[in-house]
Amino acid sequence: SAGGAALRIPTGLRHCLLCGETLATPRRMTQHLGGKKHCAEVAKRHFVATCASPQKGVSGGCTAALPVADGATALGVLADITNTHLGASVPEPPDFALVLLVDALTKHKHQTRASLE
């Protein structure tokens, strides 16, 4: 995937299957995905997958130094691994409904405020 690929996380998801974190609300998922715990798990999985590839090593042991990734490449790896693990996750129905309700109320609030100005 190209660097900086978009994260495709189901609306209302509040449990990260990648690192096992369960968040208080689905609104915190975006913060979690950029946090230390999630990024460390993505880096670990990327390192293991890269070291296990035939080009880099055998049986999970790297025989050569891994190249240092630039920011765009790192964001692409983050998006690829996150999307692979979380993209097919199914959020709990109440969490999904909560996000839709909050989005609708926020949109209505902004429309009402704009019409009063």
Q: Which residue blocks in the chain are alpha helix, DSSP H?
A: 29-33, 36-52, 71-86, 93-116
| Tens-place pLDDT, residues 38-56 | 999 998 988 888 776 665 4
| Tens-place pLDDT, residues 51-76 | 766 654 444 456 555 666 677 888 88
Residue 100 is encoded by which pair of tokens?
């839709």
- Cβ atoms of 39 and 53 within 8 Å: the answer is no
Confidence of residue 23 (pLDDT cuts 50, 70, 90): very high
The pTM assigned to this predicted structure is: 0.69
DSSP per residue, 33-49:
HTSHHHHHHHHHHHHHH
Choice among 49-53, 90-94, 95-99 with the minimum mean pLDDT: 49-53
* Cα–Cα dist 8/69, whole Å: 22
